[in-house]
Amino acid sequence: MLGINCCRAVVFCIVPFFLLAGCTGTDEGTINTVMEKNKVHSEKRAEQPSARQWKLPIKAPEGEIFKISGWAANDSFIYIANTASGSNVYEYYLPTGKSSLLYKSEFPVAAVQVSPDKNYFLIQSSPSSFEGKLAIIDKTGHEIWSKSIPSFELQFEWNPYNTSEIIISAFKEDWSFNTYLLNFEKQEFQEVSLPQPFVKWNHRNSLVFLNWYNNSQQLFAPLISQQLGSMEAATLFPKVFHFSAFKDRLLTISLKDNDTMNAVYSFYDSNLTEILTFSMPQLAKFSGWLVPFYDYNEKTNQFITLKPLKSGEADTYNEGFQLVSYQLEKPDTNGKVIIDRLENAPINCSPGGNYCLYGNRFEKVIDLTSKKIYSIISE
């Protein structure tokens, strides 16, 4: 996903991105029609050739490829190409090697976020350092919503229970922030009061966050749940140093009995019933611990993570990472090693769970069945 949290206990970078001006109208009927067409389209494309038959590496019809953004379907992904006049956003079809232009921007596009249901794309462009622009389009390239927000940097979180909703946190230079709730189906954009800017959805109308205290060196924080529109909050877990939330799944990372050599990963369902817990070696940093990159596939109920071979110091560790998968519906505490000796880099797995984009620009794709890695972008 995009916007990587910068919390105190683990090191994350906020990816700067900025938002798009103007508004266009839409209606619920139009959005539902698009969703139905895309569902049929995805089902027809479910059977795809193997990765060795894909047309790779890719070449943009215009400009130079900046980076891959994420999967649009089982056999296609979104990418950004920088041009002399701005940026273009394309969908690339792996079996045919064809690129389809979705969006042209007169400003550089920093990133594109794919909605959880793969039906919409949030496009971030940057006309200046203190103004962000955001546009939301559907899979045909039709612009549904756009707006400009004064900001230095932004962070946002798409609602997996209602993909027309997004939480947006807009930062000023001093890192003070304002938080907004966007519902692009209803064309509504309103400010909401939240104590922390880095949040995840844990139910349709509630959010979870780590409640870090300002100006203090903390290694842990309580994990809090709060309903939108309410100041009442509940503590879910008292000591966590990292968390994530997916649809009907919650992940916490903590320690057991102050054992700093191993991180404890725990998964819970929507009722906070524990599904799976496992531990893995962890790497220490000056202000906490490194959390290796990971992804969760809702369809396959599979968690895929990079795992260090042993505990130690992050700055001096050089023994590589294993790509390991865990099935959440079974007591899979050891996991299945897919590939050895990888670098710790972002991963993003396809809807069907057979492939993962990999690398800082998602410049490679991993075939999880054959365990082969293919280059998407020419060196």
pLDDT of residue 214: 73
DSSP per residue, 61-124: SSSEEEEEEEEEETTEEEEEEEETTEEEEEEEETTTTEEEEEEEESS-EEEEEE-TTSSEEEEE
Of 295 and 1, the structure prediction assigns the larger pLDDT to 295
* Residue range 121-140, pLDDT digits in tens: 999 898 888 888 999 999 99
CA distance 337 to 324: 4
CB 234, CB 224: distance < 8 Å: yes
* Residue range 15-58, pLDDT digits in tens: 343 333 333 344 444 445 445 545 444 444 444 567 889 999 99
> Going by C-beta distance under 8 Å and a sequence separation of 6 or more, which residues neighbour residue 180?
149, 167, 168, 169, 170, 189, 190, 191, 192
DSSP per residue, 127-186: EETTEEEEEEEETT--EEEEEEEE-SEEEEEE-TT-TTEEEEEEE-TTS-EEEEEEETTT
160-169 mean pLDDT: 97
Is residue 311 predicted with pLDDT exceeding 50? yes
CA distance 154 to 173: 11
* Residue range 313-361, pLDDT digits in tens: 999 999 999 999 999 988 788 999 999 999 999 999 999 999 999 999 9
How far, in Å, are 121, 143, 147, 164, 281 from residue 103 at the CA level? 10, 9, 16, 19, 43
Q: Computed from CA positions of residues 355, 359, 361, 364, in that sequence, does the dihedral angle turn out positive or negative?
A: negative
> Going by C-beta distance under 8 Å and a sequence separation of 6 or more, which residues neighbour residue 187?
23, 25, 26, 145
Structure tokens at 181: 């709730």
pLDDT of residue 38: 53
pLDDT of residue 17: 36
How far, in Å, are 59, 94, 156, 311 from residue 53 at the CA level? 16, 9, 36, 39
Is residue 98 predicted with pLDDT exceeding 50? yes
Is residue 287 predicted with pLDDT exceeding 80? yes
pLDDT of residue 52: 84
211-240 mean pLDDT: 90
**Which of 26-30, 61-65, 174-178, 228-232 has the largest mean confidence?**
61-65
CA distance 51 to 352: 13
**Average pLDDT of the residues of the chain:** 88
Residue 52 phi, psi (nearest 5)? -70, -15
Is residue 202 predicted with pLDDT exceeding 50? yes
221-233 mean pLDDT: 93
Nearest alpha-carbon partner for 255 in 268, 275, 240, 267: 240
pLDDT of residue 49: 60
pTM: 0.86
Q: Cis before residue 308, ω within 30 degrees of 0?
A: no
CA distance 42 to 10: 37
Is residue 228 predicted with pLDDT exceeding 80? yes
